[in-house]
Amino acid sequence: MLTVETRHAIDPQTAKRMDTEELRKHFHMGSLFAAGEIRLVYTHYDRMIVGAAVPSGAPLVLDQVKECGTASILDRREMAVVNVGASGKVSAAGETYAMERGDVLYLPMGSGKVTFEGEGRFYILSAPAHAAYPARLIRIGEAEKVKLGSAETSNDRTIYQFVHPAVMTSCQLVVGYTQLHNGSVWNTMPAHVHDRRMEAYLYFDMKPEQRVFHFMGEPQETRHLVMKNEDAVVSPPWSIHCGAGTGSYTFIWAMAGDNVDYKDVEMVAMEDLR
């Protein structure tokens, strides 16, 4: 079963007038992971698709998505798949990839239909592509690792870069995840924006009662969304994207747009946040 929801782009002036319900309607993406289903959100932010597939005992096949306007979803797109569940398999272009929890699979343009099997919980990210680069399964030991923050500032964290120029070549997708260490709760603080690309977050590794307060909005006009386990959020290029949780957690970050340079950001000074 395939479900696709479309999200249109929102400008910062419109976002300023939104209440909590409207903010969640346009930026929050909940209930992506449903047993026996593929659920996708087609965004108008750099045409990024965010979604999930949960085979739950029977294979799920992702092929034609009407919103893409092509016979198959990857005819003019690339894709990254992150397994946030138990062991599973993903098949495309005649190859089958066994994926453990935390593995990331990159599939290039022209890979054809994608089949999901096993007990995995597969997070899906896709963006338009201009070339076909080699498919690659990237395990955590092959990711580029960056340590940031400290326990003193409650943001001791490790960043794992998977679909990233330091590891491999893609068209515009940049994907990785950040693990907060015990006692640390802040992510991406000090905050930044990057006008040349959008970003999406998926928060996971959270207990049912745990929450993350995700901050968004222009630096001088901030808002927040309350996130639970396996909730996702889309971040426009004009918006900050940072958060603080009631305990440690992990989040997957994914970007699409003009530039794949991870450090191409405009930092926001703490005194400038409102």
Which residues participate in the annotated binding site for Zn(2+)? 192, 194, 199, 241
Task: Count the residues in the chain.
Answer: 274
How far is 46 from 219, CA to CA, in rounded Å?
A: 21
Cite the annotated binding site by residue number: 192, 194, 199, 241
Bridge partner list, 82: 104, 123
Q: Which residues contact 204 (CB under 8 A, 6 or more apart)?
A: 84, 229, 230, 249, 250, 251, 252
Count of CB atoms situated within 10 Å of the CB of 265: 16
Q: Give 180's strand partners.
A: 157
Query: Among candidates 170, 188, 61, which has minimal Cα distance to 126?
Result: 170
CB contact at 8 A, 97 and 137: yes
Residues 137, 140, 144, CA angle at the centre, nearest 5°?
Answer: 100
Contact 119, 87 (CB under 8 A): yes
